[in-house]
């Protein structure tokens, strides 16, 4: 696979593109209060929400008691107006489709997609990056930008099509077709390779999201839907931007993909270990685990 690469070192588009950004951030059930508390502790997550035009939190099959408990803390931690979406007895797919249609109806053009167990890598450098990341996304005709760590660098077989350095942050553009090619050339298993799409933290154009989630006969559960969208990305040439050094990662504290090979403390240290009060907070986080 031969692809042309263009490198721009201090790229800046002075023509602002009128983007209005919403958010899809959703939790489910009643057993993920730890994830909610970590969201409130996450300075990176708080900072990026300052750039969201339509802030919301969504509950799927959660009790009224759990919802009210989280909302009470949400009001305290995010000092801006926000919406609450509550869905019961519908599929995961339908919750996403409903939110996309709500946001589209409000004139939202783009959104931040962040799962409830994805948190920022909390350090001063990353906090200062957020404004520049959001400026870069808003000022350019970009429809998909991954913010997660460990996925944005080139490999021997997956070379970036464009490399842009903006305010000392490197953004790499790939084609979604390159990821499966890279996996095959490196003779890696699917689970050990970097996916063209997964439920990482990203910014995306809402029309692209509507196209992805409104396709016919696609799975309605989160795990199979993720694989289905990956397959779609693998077979369609979708422009695909990444931050070379991403600022979010997934904790996988509960559920099917729980990270068992790290201790609870070591897992959280990846995100919060550089915060001065981390060890003061750790015992509380353990108590609600």
Predicted pLDDT of residue 28: 97
Q: Is the pLDDT of residue 35 over 70?
A: yes
Does residue 1 belong to any structural domain of this protein?
no
Tell me the pLDDT tens digit for each residue of 187-213: 888 887 899 999 999 999 999 999 999
Does residue 189 belong to any structural domain of this protein?
yes
Q: Please state the separation of Cα 106 from the chain's center in Å.
A: 21
Q: What is the mean pLDDT of the chain?
A: 93
Question: Which residues form the domain of 159?
Answer: 6-287
Q: Is the pLDDT of residue 278 over 90?
A: yes
Taking the CB of residue 258, how many other CB atoms lie within 10 A of it?
12
DSSP state of 192: G
Does residue 182 belong to any structural domain of this protein?
yes
Does residue 268 belong to any structural domain of this protein?
yes
Does residue 151 belong to any structural domain of this protein?
yes
pLDDT grade for 79, boundaries at 50, 70 and 90:
confident
What are 130-134's contacts with CB under 8 Å, separation 24+? Answer: 130/44, 130/47, 130/48, 130/51, 130/247, 131/51, 132/166, 132/167, 132/168, 132/169, 133/169, 133/243, 133/247, 134/21, 134/48, 134/51
Lowest model confidence (mean pLDDT) among 1-5, 22-26, 125-129, 145-149:
1-5
For the chain, give the number of residues: 289
The CATH number linked to 198 is 3.90.550.10
Q: Is the pLDDT of residue 282 over 90?
A: yes
Counted domains in the chain: 1
d(CA 35, CA 27) in angstroms, rounded, equals: 9
Does residue 114 belong to any structural domain of this protein?
yes
Alpha helix positions (H), 78-192:
92-105, 124-139, 177-185
């Amino acid at each position: 696979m031969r692809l042309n690469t263009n490198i721009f070192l201090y790229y800046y588009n002075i023509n602002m593109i009128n983007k209005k950004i919403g958010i899809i951030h959703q939790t489910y059930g009643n057993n993920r209060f730890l994830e909610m508390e970590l969201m409130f502790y996450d300075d990176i997550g708080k900072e990026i929400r300052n750039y969201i035009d339509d802030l919301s939190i969504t509950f799927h099959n959660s009790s009224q008691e759990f919802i009210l408990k989280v909302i009470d803390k949400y009001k305290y931690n995010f000092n801006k107006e926000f919406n609450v979406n509550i869905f019961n007895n519908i599929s995961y797919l339908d919750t996403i489709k409903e939110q996309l249609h709500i946001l589209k109806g409000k004139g939202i053009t783009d959104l931040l997609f962040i799962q409830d167990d994805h948190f920022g890598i909390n350090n001063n450098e990353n906090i200062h990056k957020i404004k520049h990341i959001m400026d870069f996304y808003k000022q350019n005709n970009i429809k998909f930008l991954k913010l997660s760590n460990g996925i944005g660098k080139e490999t021997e077989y997956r070379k970036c099509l464009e490399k842009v350095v903006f305010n000392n942050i490197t953004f790499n553009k790939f084609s979604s077709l390159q990821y499966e090619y890279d996996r095959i050339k490196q003779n890696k298993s699917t689970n050990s390779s970097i996916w063209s799409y997964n439920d990482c933290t990203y910014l995306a154009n809402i029309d692209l999201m509507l196209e992805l989630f409104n396709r016919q006969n696609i799975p309605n559960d989160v795990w199979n839907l993720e694989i289905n969208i990956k397959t779609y990305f693998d077979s369609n040439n979708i422009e695909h931007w990444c931050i070379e050094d991403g600022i979010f990662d997934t904790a996988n504290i509960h559920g099917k993909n729980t990270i068992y090979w790290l201790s609870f403390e070591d897992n959280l240290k990846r995100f919060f270990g550089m915060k001065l009060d981390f060890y003061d907070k750790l015992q509380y986080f353990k108590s609600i685990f």
